[in-house]
Amino acid sequence: MSFKDLKKQSSLGSLTQKLVKEVEKMNTASGGADERLWKPELDKSGNGYAVIRFLPSPEGEEIPWAKMYSHAFQGPGGWYIENSLTTTGGKDPVSEHNRELWNSGNEADKDVVRRQKRKLSYYANIYVVKDPTNPANEGKVFLYKFGKKIFDKVMEAMQPEFEDESPINPFDFWQGANFKLKIVKKDGYWNYDKSEFDSVSPLLEDDDALEAIWKKQYSLAAVTAPDQFKSYEDLQKRLTYVLGQRPPARRVDEDVVDEDNTRGSYTPDFNARKAQETVTSAVSSSSDEDDALSYFQKLAEE
């Protein structure tokens, strides 16, 4: 799709319904931090504020976000912090192990499953309009990792609850809206409840400048590319080591338990993996727990 076609679809409003349908289909169906990832920061008062703009799909791609399932938990043998193969519809050893525990009939096993269940993260290209704690980020394009709370706000903008509210496509250059990210600490975790979209307005008035921004976007397909996942066999070996037990005698085909993004999750290393056995670093945009996880990952590598 060309930039000209992108603007034409904006005026017709055809992208919004397409994105809504994609969500419905989706719901039914190693080194240091990557500089392409933007993360908000808290100020001296302990609150966070920034203004960002979600950007359209990158050139050659259809959907303006990517989703990733991951697992992050600690067992007797250390930390397990890995992307889940269920992201791309494959079988994953943790999901199968959780299924067995859930069906055991033991309430204690269900508690273990809840601690080991999948975490859900989304990725999108953003343009940083305002970043008070890091002004150097303003006017630049980044990848932004966020959780279900913010994604729900995106969906509420596309599918408003009340009839006096008009749906908007937050990923649109011309008919979208800036997103005011407001963060407060609640029970020790970052809370985004006060975040909201501003009124509809073009990101910039100059189409040439918008096209330049569009061409700076990062591939979202790369987020869930094959090189972001270890093989089933390698994941099974890691899980066995972390749990301190023998490999399971049988496999279970289906996944179990609903996902959650209120705790730490794995951030893909968008560069090629150095080795399948290496546990890469975890960086989260939703809580401080991932900072601790990345520390334990380094210990696991030693």
Domains within the chain, CATH numbers bracketed: 3-91+118-240+257-301 (3.90.198.10)
* pLDDT at residue number 4: 81
The structure's pTM equals 0.75
* pLDDT at residue number 187: 86
* pLDDT at residue number 261: 45
* pLDDT at residue number 208: 97
* pLDDT at residue number 3: 83
- In order along its 302 residues, the chain shows pLDDT tens digits of 788 888 877 766 666 767 766 665 555 444 456 889 999 999 988 899 999 999 999 999 999 999 999 999 999 999 999 999 999 999 999 999 999 999 999 999 999 999 999 999 999 999 999 999 999 999 999 999 999 999 999 999 999 999 889 999 999 999 999 999 999 998 888 999 999 999 999 999 999 999 999 999 999 999 999 999 999 999 999 999 999 975 544 444 444 444 444 444 556 555 544 333 333 333 344 444 454 454 445 445 44
- For every residue of the chain, DSSP letters joined together read --HHHHHHHHHHTHHHHHHHHHHHHHHH---S--TTEE-----TTS-EEEEEEE--PPTT-S-SEEEEEEEEEEETTEEEEEE-GGGGT---HHHHHHHHHHTT--HHHHHHHHHH--EEEEEEEEEEEE-TT-GGGTT-EEEEEE-HHHHHHHHHHHS-SSTTS----TT-TTT-EEEEEEEEEETTEEE-TT-EEEEE--S-S-HHHHHHHHHTPPPSGGGGSGGGS--HHHHHHHHHHHHTSPPPSS---S--S--B-SS--PPP-SSPPS-TT-------SS-THHHHHHHHHHHHH-
